[in-house]
């Protein structure tokens, strides 16, 4: 962890009509106050982020020719660790990293009509109890979590329990008492989204089954070959005895997945395909996840760097924050927050982001308050994004509005999800790629767009430093001109925070009335330009750059 750095600059103050220059800049890298409802989350596909250890690139033979960008590209835990230690995430203001699933993937591949594909993405599970060798080892992942924590970054692990990976010559079909292979989901109502297969090649776990089942024989043989059968069975016996759960298919998966919280200390789960599993199952799963995390904290007090509860965010496909807590199936409305979810990914933001800044900020302040007020005392949050791994209609498909994307995503109320490469305008279209492979190009570390990256860094660090940006009450300020000026006030858990932000403004000098936002301030700081400003008669004169002003107390 980097300690305090002090840079002293002795410069003359300019005339009051200009923004004052920096007299002294203090970079205090002690952890900022954290609230999950305002988290700045970085979402990455491990395989596509950074290759830090080439020795594991071919550890499993997946050498058959694939479609464009449909094979493993070498990204691994070592690469993520390297970028954490270099300060890449810290410089971006990231306080949580979400990784796609890390367990062992099917060894073979399939062609879904988009070219032969291997499971580089992590969503085609072969064995939930083992780590994907191409990413690294369990010990390496534990190291990743520990180093992230030492840098005040939380880890969200992506999990999926509603289906196995496709069947291949190397990857047998699970027993029929465990999975179904049809019918395909039609989404006519809730049942046709749950007791069905997500696609025709993904065997669906019978999460509704109350039938106790034995371990699949292919898994038994695999564990025996690896020399860990006895240990796995011993752990299963202890889990079912302690939890009181029966040995149904989904309860095995609950044990296997929550083990990652129990054994590695990840701070939360991002749960895939929420609508494809019964809410009663999610209630049990989420309860067990929380218990597993508490067990890890109890057993590793020296490694636990915060007192937060285990955090659970869901991918409820099509959910929008504008709809409040419920998801509207045709036959009923379901409140998955009641099943233990803390937040949902907001699929509506990319569409709402076409609005002007003033309307966007006001609208999302309303969504945030509505969710909190529907059931007071029960946290319910949302996570905004502009691009993602499986959304073919992102906000800025051709990366023509990278600066605007940053300001709208990072300054809007709610949690944020930076998809890897948003911050450098990583291309979302690749020549020869088909379908979602376009969205999953490899991070090009040799050609970073530093102008765009610096813009994202300034906004991200400000957001991380000020919880009010994502979780404060929003007030539009009187302002005539392009863009908007607004104040955000946060007062919760004995922590107060106040900021004044401007977005979409005309570049140049701007006089701002700040007395009502910072009533006792004699000087403020524009975090975007890193300049200190004298407050004269309740006003500051600030230089607007890239349409942005970020005012904070000194």
pLDDT digit string, tens, across residues 299-354: 999 998 999 999 999 999 999 999 999 999 999 999 999 999 999 999 999 999 99
The band of 378, judged by pLDDT with boundaries at 50, 70 and 90, is confident
Q: Would you state the pLDDT for residue 3?
A: 38
Has residue 24 got a pLDDT over 70?
no
Q: What is the DSSP string of 21-90?
A: PPSEEEE--SPPP--GGG-EEEEE-HHHH----GGGTTSS---S--STT-S-----HHHHHHHHHHTHHH
Average pLDDT of the segment spanning 438-460: 98
Q: How far apart are CA 96 and CA 149, in angstroms?
A: 10
Q: What is the DSSP string of 246-309?
A: ---HHHHHHHHHHHHHHHH---EEEES-GGGS-HHHHHHHHHHHHHHHHHHHHH-TTT----PP
Q: Which candidate, 339, 293, 284, places its Cα nearest to that of 316?
A: 339
Are residues 226 and 220 in contact, defined by beta-carbon separation less than 8 angstroms?
no
Has residue 207 got a pLDDT over 90?
yes
Average pLDDT of the segment spanning 278-289: 98
**Residue range 487-540, pLDDT digits in tens:** 999 999 899 999 999 999 999 999 999 999 999 999 999 999 999 999 999 999
Q: Would you state the pLDDT for residue 16?
A: 38
Length of the chain: 554
State yes or no: cis peptide before 183, omega within 30 of 0: yes
Has residue 193 got a pLDDT over 90?
yes
CA dihedral 362, 320, 458, 143 (to 10 degrees): 150
**Residue range 422-437, pLDDT digits in tens:** 999 999 999 999 999 9
Q: How far apart are CA 220 and CA 325, in angstroms?
A: 42
What does residue 539 show for φ and ψ, rounded to 5 degrees? Answer: -130, 155
308 CB burial (10 A radius; 0-12, 13-18, 19+):
middle
Q: Would you state the pLDDT for residue 31?
A: 86
Beta bridge partners of 509: 543
Find tokens 């759960």 and name the residue. Answer: 245
What does residue 461 show for φ and ψ, rounded to 5 degrees? Answer: -65, -35
Q: How far apart are CA 530 and CA 513, in angstroms?
A: 19
Average pLDDT, the chain: 94
Has residue 26 got a pLDDT over 70?
no
Find tokens 């910072």 and name the residue. Answer: 518
Question: Considering only 30-34, 171-175, 369-373, which range has the smallest mean pLDDT?
Answer: 30-34
Has residue 2 got a pLDDT over 50?
no
Q: Would you state the pLDDT for residue 6?
A: 31
Q: Would you state the pLDDT for residue 98?
A: 98
Are residues 105 and 122 in contact, defined by beta-carbon separation less than 8 angstroms?
yes
The CA R_g of the chain, rounded to the nearest whole Å, is: 24
What does residue 350 show for φ and ψ, rounded to 5 degrees? Answer: -60, -30
Q: Which candidate, 134, 7, 124, places its Cα nearest to that of 63?
A: 134
Average pLDDT of the segment spanning 27-34: 74
Are residues 387 and 422 in contact, defined by beta-carbon separation less than 8 angstroms?
yes
Q: What letter would DSSP give residue 503?
A: E
**Residue range 103-151, pLDDT digits in tens:** 999 999 999 999 999 999 999 999 999 999 999 999 999 999 999 999 9
**Residue range 400-429, pLDDT digits in tens:** 999 999 999 999 999 999 999 999 999 999
CA dihedral 347, 348, 349, 354 (to 10 degrees): 140
**Residue range 35-90, pLDDT digits in tens:** 999 999 999 999 999 999 999 999 999 999 999 999 999 999 999 999 999 999 99
Q: How far apart are CA 164 and CA 156, in angstroms?
A: 21
Q: How far apart are CA 243 and CA 340, in angstroms?
A: 17
What percent of the chain is modeled with pLDDT above 70? 95
Has residue 13 got a pLDDT over 70?
no
Q: Which candidate, 34, 51, 32, 38, places its Cα nearest to that of 417?
A: 38
The band of 377, judged by pLDDT with boundaries at 50, 70 and 90, is confident
The band of 25, judged by pLDDT with boundaries at 50, 70 and 90, is very low
pTM, full prediction: 0.95
Q: Would you state the pLDDT for residue 304?
A: 86
Contacts of 500 (CB under 8 A, 6+ apart): 477, 485, 486, 487, 488, 512, 514, 517, 518, 524, 549, 551
Residue 406 parent element (H or E) = helix 402-411
Residue 453 parent element (H or E) = helix 450-465
Are residues 93 and 464 in contact, defined by beta-carbon separation less than 8 angstroms?
yes
Contacts of 381 (CB under 8 A, 6+ apart): 36, 37, 313, 342, 343, 344, 368, 371, 414, 415
List the Cα angle 523/524/528 in 5-degree steps: 150
């Amino acid at each position: 962890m980097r300690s305090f750095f002090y840079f002293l600059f002795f410069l003359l103050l300019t005339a009051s009509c200009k923004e004052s220059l920096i007299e002294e800049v203090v970079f205090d890298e002690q952890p900022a106050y954290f609230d999950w409802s305002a988290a700045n989350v970085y979402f990455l596909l491990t395989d596509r982020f950074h290759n830090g250890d080439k020795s594991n690139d071919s550890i499993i033979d997946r050498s058959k020719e694939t479609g464009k960008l449909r094979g493993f590209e070498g990204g691994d835990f070592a690469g993520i660790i390297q970028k954490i230690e270099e300060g890449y995430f810290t410089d971006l203001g990231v306080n949580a990293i979400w990784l796609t699933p890390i367990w062992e993937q099917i060894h073979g591949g399939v062609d879904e009509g988009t070219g032969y594909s291997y499971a580089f993405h992590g969503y085609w599970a072969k064995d939930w109890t083992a780590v994907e060798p191409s990413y690294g080892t369990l010990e390496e992942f534990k190291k990743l979590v520990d180093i992230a924590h030492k840098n005040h970054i939380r880890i969200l692990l992506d999990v999926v329990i509603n289906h196995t990976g496709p069947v291949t010559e190397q990857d047998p079909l699970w027993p029929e008492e465990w999975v179904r292979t049809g019918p395909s989901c039609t989404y006519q109502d809730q049942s046709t989204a749950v007791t069905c297969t997500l696609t025709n090649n993904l065997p669906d776990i019978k999460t509704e089954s109350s039938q106790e089942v034995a371990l699949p024989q292919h898994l038994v043989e695999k564990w025996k070959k690896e020399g860990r059968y006895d240990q796995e069975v011993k752990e299963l016996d202890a889990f079912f005895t302690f939890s009181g759960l029966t040995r149904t298919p989904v309860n095995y998966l609950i044990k296997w997945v929550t083990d990652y919280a129990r054994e590695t200390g990840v701070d939360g789960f991002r749960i895939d395909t929420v609508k494809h599993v019964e809410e009663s199952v999610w209630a049990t799963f989420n309860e067990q996840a929380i218990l597993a995390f508490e067990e890890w904290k109890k057993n590793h007090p020296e490694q636990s760097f915060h007192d937060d509860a285990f955090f659970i965010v869901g991918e409820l496909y099509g959910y929008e924050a504008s709809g409040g807590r419920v998801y509207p199936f045709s036959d009923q409305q379901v409140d998955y927050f009641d099943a233990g979810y803390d937040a949902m990914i907001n699929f509506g933001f990319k569409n709402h982001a076409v609005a002007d800044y003033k309307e966007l900020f006001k609208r999302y302040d309303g969504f945030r308050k509505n969710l909190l007020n529907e059931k007071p005392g029960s946290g319910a949050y949302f996570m905004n994004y502009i691009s993602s791994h499986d959304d073919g209609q992102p906000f800025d498909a051709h990366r023509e509005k990278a600066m605007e994307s940053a300001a709208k995503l990072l300054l809007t109320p709610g949690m944020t999800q930076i998809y890897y490469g948003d911050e450098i305008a990583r291309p979302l279209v690749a020549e020869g790629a088909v379908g979602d492979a376009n969205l999953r190009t490899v991070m090009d570390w040799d050609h970073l767009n530093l102008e765009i990256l610096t813009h994202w860094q300034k906004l991200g660090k400000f957001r991380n430093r000020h919880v009010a940006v994502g979780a404060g009450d929003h007030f539009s300020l009187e302002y005539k001109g392009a863009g908007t000026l607004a104040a955000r006030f946060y007062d919760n858990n004995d922590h107060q925070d106040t900021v004044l932000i401007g977005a979409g403004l005309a570049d140049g000098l701007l006089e701002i009335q700040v007395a009502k936002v910072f009533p006792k301030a004699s000087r403020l700081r524009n975090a975007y330009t890193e300049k200190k400003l004298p407050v004269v008669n309740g006003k500051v004169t600030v230089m607007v750059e890239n349409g942005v002003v970020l005012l904070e107390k000194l």
